[in-house]
Amino acid sequence: MTPLNPDSLVQKTNELKDSISNKISTIKPSDNYDDIDRNMQYIQEIQKKNNEKKKKDAMMRILIGAGFLVILIIGLRRKRKPKAE
């Protein structure tokens, strides 16, 4: 094992820092904003579709409930035939 030289450690650290800085500087912030905007629009579309589906399902349940209520009222209003004795 070779002993570590503090100067070489500082040099390696600076090289790594510079390489990271170069990679970060090559990334265009506008690309990230475009991706974020596209993702947000996609999420909003999915939410709209889900809300429309929930609204449609709720209306169907209300209509089915109203139909059963009408059937119940009709059934309760019918007069029963008197039993023949």
Instruction: Quick: pLDDT tens for 5-25.
Output: 777 888 888 888 888 888 777
Residue 31, classified by CB atoms within 10 Å of its CB into exposed (0-12), middle (13-18) or buried (19+), is: exposed
pLDDT of residue 59: 98
CA distance readout (Å), 18 to 4, 27, 35, 70:
21, 15, 27, 77
- The Cα 71–Cα 64 span in angstroms is 11
Q: In terms of residues, how long is the chain?
A: 85
Token reading at 26: 């090559």
Which tokens is 49 given? 């579709």
Is the pTM higher than 0.75? The answer reads no
